[in-house]
Amino acid sequence: MDTTSAYHWPWNVLGIAANADERSVRRAYARLLKQQRPDEDAEAFQRLRYAYESALQMASASTEAAVEPLPGAETMQASRATLATQQTSQPSGFTPAQPESEAHSREPDAFERAVQLWQNFVAQPDQLESRRSLQDLFADVVNIQTRDELEWQALIHCLNEDAPATLRMNLSAVLGWRDNAAHLHRRNAAIATLALDRVFADEDYNALRLRYTNAMVLLEGPQPPLATGAHALLRAGVRTGMEQLLTALNRYHPNVVRLRLDSEKVEFWTRCLTFRIGAGRLFGPALTLSAWCGLLFANASMGLNRDQWFDQWTPVQWAVLLATLMVTLVASAATTVLLSEPQQQRLRALRSMGWLRYGWVPVWLGATAASLCDDGSGRLTSIAMDTLGICTMWAALIYGWPRIKQFVILAAVGAIGFGFAGHWLATDPRAWPMPFAHGMLFAFFFSFAQREWRGWLARRPHLARFGAAMWFAGFAALIVLLLQRDERSTQFAWALFTVMAAAGGVLATTRWNDLRRAVPGFFRGYVHLAWFAFALSKPDIIACVSAGLMSVWIIEELKQRRLSPRTAP
């Protein structure tokens, strides 16, 4: 029987057939020994050595079974001689009865029988994870030697990397390896130790997952930055669970770390437990955000007919600022630290609701457009400041805080790079916080919501074409309004450009980075400064240029979508 061993250890390690003789085993070991040196990978070499020793033992047992005389062979020969003598003395036509041992062929020995049984069992994948099928398999074997050989075959199979963990645990439960494995160690201590370590690692891993569910989710998930990981441990009960889990892994279950977990992640979360998060690192972004929103609320409460500097503030404005700080800090602590894991899950489900996840976007755009159309009284601008402050806190609670460097760059582009700061400072210097509030919300939109909206629109091609048509109509209206050169037309043009700047990134992939990479690295900083200076002095031209670039990208996107169905197989 020439059965290759794609799923049988140790033959798959040596790369030879399961019926190979001792000479083939030694040749395979010598060949692999040249490739696998003990000083390069000690664990792999140890595994190769165990496979070699086990294969030699199996090959030797198979050879002995093939050449060993049958039990009672001498007795059978004597019986044959007696029968021959009796046959000569009987009358002609008499046919003696054949002995039962001659009538039936010899049954295979225990080793071959066990190998055949196990190969038939593992050839049916639906049985590998069934404890009942394992119980039936071993219950049907009444011969003690065959059962021992079958148990050894099952233990050897546990060394396979692709063997299901459920099979290992079921074998341990059915055969009682946790309480009684001395007979396996007496047969081959090295192989038994290696296989049982893997079996018990699966059992311990499953028990740890049931006991420390939240900590195991963090341990097996993507590895975040160190400060983010330390911040995640501040949630209710998570830090205690992680401490207990890591203590159990280090003291009692080192094989789980070696065989089932990523040791680098275990070391990372150990560092997170000892990492000290200062108040600035923990609440710094929330404090900055709340201070900015408090500034917007305080300025809106004063109106735009008075001086906006701090020395002109009344106790009312200071109370608004402090109240905003307190509310934001309490909300940040509640959503990141104080809530338990079930409450965190309900909060994530709440954040995934469409109207709550994206509702701030039309509110933000509508408030900004209304502020740009203010008649000079400052009423619309004051209302817009309050609205943008609320939208900023709304977006931060839904999406969290992006990377600081990326967020600052996007906010500067949204506030200055598109010309909003230049337009506001030229028309109404008292509303100087408005372009920067708009830029912060643009950074939230660009970092989180824009990509999700683009994916939603890509699944609706008819709606995408309608949106593109409306966008080009808006682009034509923008040019006409800016050419009017009167104050009211300019206000309407900038209100229209507010919506177009956000919609352009949804209708097509904006490639501002391609323009940035087209400039040599040495000159990029100077080009950015020149662009910002030009945007402050000539915001109308910057708006037209930005809208024109986005129109080109939208046309290219439409062409690509039209060609993609034709090229698809």
Work out the pLDDT band at 139, boundaries 50, 70, 90. confident
User: 129-133, 381-385, 541-545: which has the minimum mean pLDDT?
Assistant: 129-133
372 and 259 within one domain: no
244 and 369 within one domain: no
Please report which helix (H) or strand (E) contains residue 65, including its range. helix 42-67
How much is the pLDDT for 473? 94
379 and 517 within one domain: yes
269 and 359 within one domain: no
Q: Is residue 92 part of a domain?
A: no
CA angle 258, 261, 265 (to 5 degrees): 110
According to DSSP, residue 448 is labeled I
How much is the pLDDT for 249? 93
Share of the chain above pLDDT 90, in %: 27
Phi and psi angles of residue 102, each rounded to the nearest 5 degrees, phi first: -85, -25
The single-letter code of the amino acid at 360 is W
Asked whether residue 158 carries a pLDDT value surpassing 80, the answer given is yes
Provide the residue range defining the domain that includes 225: 212-274
For 376-398, what is the mean pLDDT? 89
Domain boundary among 220, 245, 274: 274
Domain boundary among 234, 257, 274: 274
Q: Any idea which residue has 């939109």 for tokens?
A: 445
Q: Is residue 431 part of a domain?
A: yes
Whole-angstrom distance, CA of residue 486 vs CA of residue 490: 6
375 and 266 within one domain: no
466 and 360 within one domain: yes
Whole-angstrom distance, CA of residue 16 vs CA of residue 465: 61
How much is the pLDDT for 247? 92
Whole-angstrom distance, CA of residue 379 vs CA of residue 427: 15
Work out the pLDDT band at 240, boundaries 50, 70, 90. confident
* Region at 499 (left for phi over 0; alpha for psi -120 to 50; beta for the rest): alpha
- Under 8 Å CB-to-CB from 235, ≥6 apart: which residues? 336, 337, 339, 340, 341, 344
Whole-angstrom distance, CA of residue 157 vs CA of residue 196: 11
Please report which helix (H) or strand (E) contains residue 49, including its range. helix 42-67
How much is the pLDDT for 553? 92
Exposure pattern of 208-246 as b/e (b: 16+ CB <10 Å)? bbeebebbbebbeeeeeeeeebbbbbebeebbebbbebb
The single-letter code of the amino acid at 223 is Q
519 and 378 within one domain: yes
How much is the pLDDT for 442? 94
Whole-angstrom distance, CA of residue 7 vs CA of residue 431: 73
Each residue of 55-109: pLDDT tens digit? 777 777 666 555 444 344 443 344 344 334 433 344 433 334 444 333 333 345 7
- Closest listed residue to residue 494, CA positions, set 413, 364, 361, 373: 373
264 and 369 within one domain: no
User: 195-204, 428-437, 445-454, 555-564: which has the minimum mean pLDDT?
Assistant: 555-564
Asked whether residue 471 carries a pLDDT value surpassing 80, the answer given is yes
How much is the pLDDT for 441? 94
Two tokens, residue 418: 């598109």
Between residues 561 and 429, the one the model is more confident about: 429
Domain boundary among 274, 292, 308: 274
Whole-angstrom distance, CA of residue 525 vs CA of residue 321: 36
404 and 537 within one domain: yes
How much is the pLDDT for 550? 92
Between residues 282 and 235, the one the model is more confident about: 235
360 and 269 within one domain: no
* Region at 160 (left for phi over 0; alpha for psi -120 to 50; beta for the rest): beta
Q: Is residue 253 part of a domain?
A: yes
- Alpha carbon 464 to chain centroid distance? 31
Whether this model's pTM surpasses 0.75: no
Residue pair 347/335 in contact by the 8 Å Cβ criterion: yes
In this structure, the number of other CB atoms found within 10 A of the CB of residue 295 comes to 21
Residue pair 255/279 in contact by the 8 Å Cβ criterion: no
Whole-angstrom distance, CA of residue 438 vs CA of residue 388: 7
Phi and psi angles of residue 21, each rounded to the nearest 5 degrees, phi first: -90, 180
End-to-end CA distance of the chain: 46
Whole-angstrom distance, CA of residue 116 vs CA of residue 8: 12
Q: Is residue 228 part of a domain?
A: yes
471 and 377 within one domain: yes
Residue pair 429/384 in contact by the 8 Å Cβ criterion: no
For 8-15, what is the mean pLDDT? 77
User: 110-114, 142-146, 281-285, 315-319: which has the minimum mean pLDDT?
Assistant: 281-285
Between residues 218 and 284, the one the model is more confident about: 218
Residue pair 399/440 in contact by the 8 Å Cβ criterion: no
361 and 270 within one domain: no
For 283-302, what is the mean pLDDT? 83
How much is the pLDDT for 431? 86
- Alpha carbon 74 to chain centroid distance? 69
Q: Is residue 331 part of a domain?
A: no
How much is the pLDDT for 43? 64
Residue pair 544/493 in contact by the 8 Å Cβ criterion: no
What is the domain count for the chain? Answer: 2
User: 165-174, 206-215, 397-406, 521-530: which has the minimum mean pLDDT?
Assistant: 397-406
